Chains A and B, each alone.
Chain A
């Protein structure tokens, strides 16, 4: 898709929930890999992460975020027309988590509810999807729940979060601008290779071996081609951001904050430097909240900007990128939105 603009869509509010459990990338790593972890943490910029305990799922976090958001918005649940969940951590392979949440949140059965299978790029796509329904006049109020439970004690990158964003019809709302892209030729760059129909689970996939850190691994684990992801992110994202700004005819000075997917420090700093953006306009949550996959834009907006965004008018450029490969940007004006502080559950 080339760039597009949606009108009559108001960004009404956002809430973000992370697990209470804090995992320290260095201190909680096995002693034999702690020195290696120090170097890794320094370079990926991630020191602590939030990990769900065994019993907790992404949808539990998203549920807490949604309940808080709806209460603070004072929306009547009967008025919610759509509930779109953007996740790669569903409660079950099927049915869709969004439908389970429709009931759990006690939303009406008239709610449009389905899941979208996107990861780190997902937030702008979710906004565009629900925003399009509103802009088309099909619905008045919609929720986008974005996040994942992708954290794992073994690997230092991913952290868990669930988020909720509320959009509503408003004839006076400023326009939202989007640039959304896909490149399936890179699907192997980040992949869970086993468990789908191309490679169903077989007993042989479950055979585990210990890695150098003493962690058990098997072929059910996520495969991430670091150099490929880095090249993709640092080559595709800066021009996509420039393209969107050019399309809209805005300069970087007209954007108050640039919120990027929190991939890792090397990727994020390279993107920031290529776009020549000052650090103070590019908030980060990598250090304390890790890479929260698709939730990382809401996590960063909430954890770093919730007080600012709940007062006055601010223009944000939001940019997600990753698994797919998929990358999308949005320019969104946030005007006195409901923005509760980070929730821990």
Chain B
């Protein structure tokens, strides 16, 4: 089972932000300046290829925080 700390590390590698940010489980996605459509694509690919979990755009729209994303792993 991937821990939330490991998830955050893999998530940051996937979204490949230009400017470094520190993420905590309760960090709001809307507060991240580079949480954009490219990040959404990268997150969908991360879940599919690393966790074998298919998520779609509307799943991401429902997520407010980093821990909401982590919870999508189910």
Are B16 and A39 closer than 8 Å at their CB atoms?
A: yes
Query: Given A35, A227, A273, which contacts B56 in the complex, CB threshold below 8 Å?
Result: A227
Q: Does A228 sit at the interface, judged by CB under 8 A?
A: yes
Q: Which residue of A lies closest to B54 (CB)?
A: A235
**Total contacts A to B, CB within 8 angstroms?**
50
Residues of B within 8 A of A230 (CB): 41, 44-45
Q: Majority SS of interface residues in chain B?
A: helix
Are A227 and B41 closer than 8 Å at their CB atoms?
A: yes
CB within 8 Å for A226 and B40 given contacts A39-B34, A235-B54: yes
Q: Does B49 sit at the interface, judged by CB under 8 A?
A: yes
Are A39 and B41 closer than 8 Å at their CB atoms?
A: no
Are A266 and B56 closer than 8 Å at their CB atoms?
A: no
User: Binary interface profile of A, 158-178, with partner B (CB < 8 Å = 1, else 0)?
Assistant: 000000000000000000000
Q: Majority SS of interface residues in chain A?
A: helix
Q: Does A96 sit at the interface, judged by CB under 8 A?
A: no
Query: Given B17, B34, B45, which contacts A234 in the complex, CB threshold below 8 Å?
Result: B45
Most central of A44, A225, A270 by chain B CB within 10 Å = A270
Residues A197-255 near B (CB distance < 8 A): 225-228, 230-231, 234-235
7 smallest beta-carbon distances between A and B, as pairs: A227-B57, A39-B18, A226-B37, A230-B41, A227-B40, A231-B56, A35-B18
What is the interface of chain B, defined by CB distance below 8 A to chain A?
16-18, 34, 37-38, 40-42, 44-45, 48-49, 54, 56-57, 60
What is the interface of chain A, defined by CB distance below 8 A to chain B?
35-36, 38-40, 42-44, 225-228, 230-231, 234-235, 266, 270, 273-274
